[in-house]
Copies of this chain bind each other. A is one copy, B any other.
């Protein structure tokens, strides 16, 4: 039986991965945040791989490690997590009344029971359009505390949703993990348990 490890401490990624795996472990990578990549899509792939490799390197036996990294790109600026409230204010002022991209890189590293190993890296991008916000709305949102642990200083699934006009692409990618693309890859690579059959309802008949 292959162990599954999520190399991220994000509670949002944990919840999303539960859509795919009932049981997995969480071992957050510290993550080497330095990347020489110029393109944001290369950068998130690279940072996701740093995280996955950090955990994979410590493990023996059959294992699948999932690393992920999310950034926000607005007007050519790459936005990570805000350093403080002023930084959150700067980011939200840039995002309001504007379109931006959210990019998540995912790196899968695995060793099967037969000892064979493999790697799969992909990225998913989503365009997000935000309604114009008043200065008071920006301040009120920062006061909720939601921005501080999130790339781009907002969480699409929280109270910020009333400012999100629309998106193009995967919603869960903005939350932090492109769960449908991940499920697709894991199925293709045969890294997923067969769905449990419901006796009498499904299966061979």
A169 to B167, CA, bound (A): 5
Interface string of A105-126 (1 = CB under 8 A from B): 0000000000000000000001
> Residues of B contacting A198 with CB < 8 Å?
139-140, 143
Q: Which of B126, B180, B197 contacts A161 (CB 8 A)?
A: B180
> Residues of B contacting A136 with CB < 8 Å?
195, 197, 202
Residue among A180, A181, A183 facing the most chain B CB atoms (10 A cut-off): A180
Q: A156's closest neighbor in chain B, by CB?
A: B171
B166–A169 CB distance below 8 A: yes
A162 to B17, CA, bound (A): 10
Interface string of A163-205 (1 = CB under 8 A from B): 1111111111000000111011000000000011110011000
A19/B162 contact (C-beta < 8 A), A136-B195, A195-B137, A196-B140 known: yes
